[in-house]
Amino acid sequence: MWRSLSQPNQRLTLLYLLLLLADSAGPPMGLPWLHTFCKPLLMPCLLLILWREQTVRQLPLAGWWVAGLLLSCWGDTALLWGDDPLWFMLGLGGFLLAHVSYIVGMARLYRQVQPGAPRPPLLAFLGVGAYATGMLAVLWPHLGSLLPPVVVYTAAISLMLITAMALAARLRKPAGAWLLWGAALFVASDSVLALNKFAVPFDGAGLLIMATYGAAQWLLVQAVVRIAADKATS
């Protein structure tokens, strides 16, 4: 995988990993300023990867992916302000709109890539719905007034994963796998965040949330880069 990345992509990926490591390690090391400084820089670093890959600009989802990363940066920054409900809602809103951007971008590309390709089995889609329903059942008693926005957010991220599953089935490898893993890890990250915040707080949750979130966003970006490269050579 590493060798398939361009040199600018490799350098920016290393920078991204350093920022992600510093962001995650700062609070446990008693250096919370590292978290405050590094977290808002994560998505701009991924935006630079897209900007340096000229073939990406020709994709119908390029603008939507840029919007998704910018909105994720908004969400990251809002959540830095602690557990205040207003900032949490602003952060949730940023990520909700980010998922909508990813969904629209993938839907636009879906109509143009390998029409007639096999679709994922219906069981996979039902599995996503069952997982989302189960998560809401666990969270429901703890949400209070946050129940409506969390239900809406759960529906959005579930649809994002379903859209990624449908598009991945039409893509060449490894782009399809990267897209699918990125979407799945995003769901995993948000699931851990929700369980830790509302239901069962546990030690190490912050590290797990950032590890899965950081990997998810990076894989989604790399999937787009690979899709663009495949399209340029086809």
Number of structural domains in the chain:
1
The span from the CA of 230 to the CA of 225, in Å, is 9
Domain extent, residue 57, equals: 2-233
The span from the CA of 113 to the CA of 5, in Å, is 22
What pLDDT, on the 0 to 100 scale, is given for residue 32?
82
Query: Which helix (H) or strand (E) covers residue 39, if one does?
Result: none
Output the CA–CA distances (angstroms, integers) from residue 1 to 8, 93, 182, 226, in the order listed. 15, 33, 15, 11
- Please report, in tens digits, the pLDDT of each residue of the chain (234 residues total): 767 788 888 999 999 999 999 998 887 777 787 888 999 999 999 999 999 888 888 888 889 999 999 999 999 999 888 667 888 899 999 999 999 999 999 999 988 876 666 667 778 889 999 999 999 999 999 999 899 999 999 999 999 999 999 999 888 889 999 999 999 999 999 999 999 999 988 888 889 999 999 999 999 999 999 999 887 776
What pLDDT, on the 0 to 100 scale, is given for residue 80?
87
What pLDDT, on the 0 to 100 scale, is given for residue 118?
66
Q: Are 203 and 162 in contact (CB under 8 A)?
A: no
